[in-house]
Amino acid sequence: MYKLEDVPPAIDNASTLGMLAAEQPLRIALFERLHLDYCCGGSTSLDDACTRRGLDVDSVREQIEAVDRGGSRHDEAAPEWRPREATIEELCDHIVSVHHDGMREEMPRITELLETVVRVHGADHADLEVVEQAFASLRAELEEHIEEEEVVLFPTCRGLEQGSIDPAGVEPELIARHRTEHEAVGRKLAALRELAGGYELSRALCATHRSLLEGLLRFETDLHRHVHEENNVLLDRVDALLDGPPLAGATPVDVLVEALVELADAGRAERASRLAAKAYAGLRRGEPDQAQRLDALMHKLILSPRYNDDKE
Ligand SMILES: [Fe+2]
Ligand SMILES: [Fe+2]
């Protein structure tokens, strides 16, 4: 029987491609086919992205809706991996084991294929050496980038989720820097496609060249998904945990005072006052000025009408 909840939500032309891909990962295959950049250009609206690619937005919207209804013959079966439903810990584990480890395996293989193709056909096809150089440059950048993610970014993301890292202590530019690096990688990836003739298999010069073009195409598709999972899911979630710039530069006592005021506002003024007293006792010898702030907060809370409400 047809149920009301089977009706997919209407697609808004103003929705961003990153949001549309995160909402329903099945749409990604369609975006790849139409060359709509949903990862590095994930903040672009459907409308603007279609205009840039010279596509009719209404027709693209209908195709997305067909994918949502399961009516498209082009797109693959529902992927089991749904990044939006994962925890930050699971996201980081997935990105490392699937995308980073996959790239570490695939990049040397592609490099070897390029070396063979340039050696055999380079004399008659000078463009192949240009592709080789472009891939080498992209590979070097990616190796450095994923290393930093595994050593700095992901431990920070995990720590923020677990509460073992104070958002105020996180380097303010960390997230923005990764987004900028993703944009640079996206530009190099697009340039590589251009240089390699759009990975058009009919232009393959031999079986090795064909393997190379297939490998580059798979590499591009995987990198798009990889950057999408980082930009539009992981980093968006971490941005929310960091709660924007107001906490940047705040001291631990600033954060504690803010949290205690929120606790009191939530109707637990007595509990907030007890915690302020505890923190005051711990700080009064080493940090008398900071302790004074907690003492003042404690008295303010005791005098608050909410404090007496708590006890009822
Ligand atoms: Fe990554
Ligand atoms: Fe990344």
Same domain, 156 and 267: no
Same domain, 152 and 208: yes
| Centroid of ligand 2 to alpha carbon of 99 (angstroms) | 10
Contacts for 197 with CB less than 8 Å, ≥ 6 apart: 203
- Say if 75 falls within a structural domain: no
| Centroid of ligand 1 to alpha carbon of 89 (angstroms) | 14
Ion ligand 1 residue ranges (Cβ < 5 Å): 149
User: Residue with structure tokens 């008295």?
Assistant: 299
| Centroid of ligand 2 to alpha carbon of 232 (angstroms) | 11
Pairwise CA distance, residues 68 & 3, whole Å: 15
Global pTM reads 0.70
- Say if 273 falls within a structural domain: yes
| Structure confidence at residue 52 (pLDDT) | 93
Same domain, 124 and 220: yes
Same domain, 146 and 210: yes
* Ligand located closest to 96 CA: 1
Predicted confidence (pLDDT) per residue in 223-279, tens digit: 999 999 999 999 999 999 987 544 445 677 877 887 887 888 777 888 888 888 888
**Tally of domains within the chain:** 3
Same domain, 268 and 297: yes
Same domain, 192 and 295: no
Same domain, 60 and 120: no
| Centroid of ligand 2 to alpha carbon of 36 (angstroms) | 19
Nearest to 269 by CA among 312, 305, 303, 301: 301
Higher pLDDT, residue 135 or 76:
135
Same domain, 43 and 93: no
| Centroid of ligand 1 to alpha carbon of 30 (angstroms) | 23
CATH number of domain containing 25: 1.10.3910
- When mean pLDDT is compared across 71-80, 101-110, 154-163, the lowest value belongs to 71-80
Pairwise CA distance, residues 218 & 94, whole Å: 18
* Ligand located closest to 146 CA: 1
240-268 CB burial, b ≥16 within 10 A, e <16: eebeeeebeebeebeebbeebbebbeeeb
Predicted confidence (pLDDT) per residue in 160-183, tens digit: 999 999 999 999 899 999 999 999
| Structure confidence at residue 269 (pLDDT) | 81
Same domain, 199 and 145: yes
Q: CB of 204 within 8 A of CB of 213?
A: yes
- Say if 268 falls within a structural domain: yes
Residue 309's pLDDT band (cuts 50, 70, 90): low
Same domain, 199 and 56: no
Number of helices (H) and strands (E) in the chain: give both, helices first. 15, 0
* Ligand located closest to 183 CA: 2
| Centroid of ligand 2 to alpha carbon of 13 (angstroms) | 27
- Say if 138 falls within a structural domain: yes
Same domain, 196 and 269: no
Strand, coil or helix: 236: helix
| Centroid of ligand 1 to alpha carbon of 146 (angstroms) | 5
Task: Name the domain boundary from 37, 68, 99.
Answer: 68
Predicted confidence (pLDDT) per residue in 81-117, tens digit: 889 899 999 999 999 999 999 999 999 999 999 999 9
- Say if 31 falls within a structural domain: yes
Residue 32: CB atoms within 10 A of its CB come to: 17
Nearest to 38 by CA among 14, 22, 61, 56: 22
Pairwise CA distance, residues 136 & 115, whole Å: 11
- Say if 136 falls within a structural domain: yes
Same domain, 164 and 205: yes
| Centroid of ligand 2 to alpha carbon of 208 (angstroms) | 30
Question: DSSP assignment of 52-69, as one string?
Answer: HHT--HHHHHHHHHHHHT
Question: DSSP assignment of 200-244, as one string?
Answer: -GGG-SSHHHHHHHHHHHHHHHHHHHHHHIIIIIIHHHHHHHHTS
- Provide the residue type at 243 as one letter: D
Pairwise CA distance, residues 231 & 216, whole Å: 22
User: Residue with structure tokens 């404090």?
Assistant: 307
| Centroid of ligand 2 to alpha carbon of 106 (angstroms) | 17
User: Residue with structure tokens 């031999």?
Assistant: 206
- Say if 50 falls within a structural domain: yes
Pairwise CA distance, residues 308 & 306, whole Å: 5
Q: Which domain holds residue 15?
A: 4-68
Q: Check pLDDT > 50 for residue 7.
A: no
Predicted confidence (pLDDT) per residue in 184-222, tens digit: 999 999 999 999 999 999 999 999 999 999 999 999 999
Residue 233: CB atoms within 10 A of its CB come to: 22
Pairwise CA distance, residues 210 & 199, whole Å: 9
Pairwise CA distance, residues 30 & 68, whole Å: 11
Q: Give me the phi and psi of 45, to 5 degrees please.
A: -75, 160
Angle between helices 127-148 and 174-195 (to 10 degrees): 160
- Say if 74 falls within a structural domain: no
| Centroid of ligand 1 to alpha carbon of 56 (angstroms) | 32
